[in-house]
Every structure is written in C-alpha cells, then in structure tokens.
Amino acid sequence: MVDVEWALSQLGQIFHSEDHLKLALGAELAQMYGNERVRLEWNPEPGVRVDIGVRRGDVTIPIELKYKTKQATVKDAVFEETFQLKTQGAHDRAHYRFLRDINRVEQIVANQGRYGYAVLLTNDSNYWTSPAGQALYDEFRIHEGREFGEGELNWREQRDWMSKSGEEAPINLVGQYVAEWTDYEYREDISVSSNSEFQSLVLRVDTQVAVNE
C-alpha cells in the first residue's frame, strides 16, 4: 500500500504553491518507495495527467493534489524566509474541482489500477467546517463528517460562468466517501501570522469500494 497520509505527515512544511507541495510530497514518496518508482505529472493515457504516480508491483497508483490557501504571512526560520499565502476563495469551483479529481482517479483505477488517492491540504476552514447556510455547491461539500458519492452530484442552480469554464456538468461518483480531516503539523520553527491551522483530507479510491483512507 502507498501510505500517503504518513508521507504527508512527514513533510512539516508550509508550501508556497500547489507545485511546491507536489514536489515535496513526491520527494518524500521517492524516499519511501524508491526514486525510480515515483513519477510527477504521470500520464496514464494520452490527454490524461495525474499529479503523482507511484509504481507498486505491476500497477501505478494515481495521486491527485489540491492546495487551497487563505491569507497568511509565513516565516520559516530554517530558510530565513518570509512569504505570503493569498486567499484563493472561489469555494464553489474549488469544491467542484476536488470532486472532479476524485472522479478522474476513479476512472483511472477502474481502467488499470487497484486504488488511488485524492488529497487536499488547506488553511481555509471553509473546507472542513459545517456550513451555516445554503450554497450553490452544497452537493460538493467536503466538511468534516460529510458522506457523499455513489451517484450524481450537481449544482443547486446553474450559472453562466459554469458553462464558460466547463464546470456545469454533474459529477458521477462510483464510490462512497466520508470526509475525515486531520491536523497538519508543521515545524515549530515555522510561524504563521493568521489562519495558522492547516488540515488535510486524504481520500482513498478503491476498485471495489471507495472509502476514506
């Protein structure tokens, strides 16, 4: 088994960007399973790209990543570095795209694999906190304890921007999932000025039944 949760817990960093996270997680997985068995930007088939692929036995395990940030100033004493995280917002699109990642992994697993993962790391509590009211993306929510999957998930209402960005279609998931968030711990010599709590969600996608890892 590829232990993505353990690899993520070993990083201890705050990342500049999603690409930074991908490089760091890829390097950690390479230490765990061998550099020759880890591929960034893996192409399981023409026109399909996955953030990380880890070769195990005769199959490659797909891993899709999302890194969503809220405004913060990060100071890393080891690197004598200070950098800013921006508020990305657009929670409707972000939730939709994360579930679309799950759907993509499901398709890859069904075609040629045993299991895969969808991973989200964030310091934006909107993702893990239960909603106070309704939103367009209610069916795509992934807050703590949320159960979703096994069927069609759709927008509550359609908007023009959805078709313009190619995000109007419902998402059909085969597996069933439960969102169980985990505290993401970073090094003590890193300080974060605001929105300092980071949480991670690691969902395992299986060929038989998709469950939370």
pLDDT at residue 209, rounded to an integer:
46
Within a 10 A sphere around the Cβ of 86, how many other Cβ atoms?
Answer: 10
Share of the chain above pLDDT 90, in %: 81
pLDDT at residue 146, rounded to an integer:
96
Give the SS3 label for residue 96.
helix
59 φ, ψ to 5°?
-135, 160
pLDDT in tens, 191-203: 999 999 999 999 9
Give the SS3 label for residue 175.
strand
pLDDT in tens, 83-114: 999 999 899 999 999 999 999 999 999 988 78
The sign of the torsion formed by the CA atoms of 132, 133, 135, 137 equals positive
> Hunting for tokens 């209402």 — which residue is that?
157
pLDDT at residue 164, rounded to an integer:
80
Q: How many Å apart are CA 145 and CA 130, to the nearest integer?
A: 9
pLDDT in tens, 137-150: 999 999 999 999 98
pLDDT at residue 208, rounded to an integer:
61
Query: Is beta strand 115-122 parallel, antiparallel or unpaired with respect to 59-68?
Result: parallel
Reading the chain (213 residues) residue by residue, the pLDDT tens digits are 899 999 999 999 999 999 999 999 999 999 999 999 999 999 998 889 999 999 999 999 999 999 999 999 999 999 999 999 999 989 999 999 999 999 999 999 998 878 999 999 999 999 999 998 899 899 999 999 999 998 999 998 888 888 888 888 899 999 999 999 999 999 999 999 999 999 999 999 986 644 443
